[in-house]
Every structure is written in C-alpha cells, then in structure tokens.
Structure 1
Amino acid sequence: MNLHYVGLTRARKGCILVSSTERTNYENKQKKANDSEFVWLNSIKKLRYISK
C-alpha cells in the first residue's frame, strides 16, 4: 500500500491504475484477482477520473 501512495503522490502529470478480475500465478494457473485496497479508500475517490 505504501508503494501505491508514493506512486500517486509523486506523479507529475498523472497516474493510471489498472485492475483485473484474474491473475496468473507462478504455476501459470488462473486465479481470481483482488483490487488493491488503496484504490478504494474514501479519500482517493475524489482524485479518480474514469475515461470514457
């Protein structure tokens, strides 16, 4: 979570966060993915811009 904070607060022009519903683990198996808890903190919501 600290790395996300640093990335967002030090971005000069913008920061793009991408999420996925699946991930591939080290055994090359598909697993359900979870969003970073940082993406959904209440204080971050006002900074979000969703492109169309």
Structure 2
Amino acid sequence: FALAAAAWLIGAEALIVGSVIVTVIVGRREFASQSRRILLSNMPELSEDARRTGT
C-alpha cells in the first residue's frame, strides 16, 4: 500500500487508481492463488453436525 500512498502526492485520482490496483493485486494473490486452490482441494468435507454448530 506504500505505492498507493505515494500516489497521493500526485493527486486524488492517482491515489484512488493506485489503491484499486494494489487491492486487486493483493486480492488475486490471496484468493486466486494456486496454493489456496491446492489447500482447499485437500480439505475434508464437514459433517452435517459440524455445519449446523459451526465447529
């Protein structure tokens, strides 16, 4: 987020664009990664009791 914050020196529009770009990059690295996909594919299914109680 330092790059987006540095864009603040250029102006409000650059700050908004920089923040959006950084957020998209971080989101893709967090939620669209191959590592996450592999981890989720190896997770066991929850039983009905676990789904109901949330444990």
Superposition TM-score tier, normalisation by shorter sequence: under 0.3
TM-score (norm. length: structure 1): 0.25
Question: Which structure's residues are more often strand, by fraction?
Answer: 1
More helix per residue: 2
TM-score, structure 2 as length reference: 0.25
**Which structure has the larger Rg?**
2
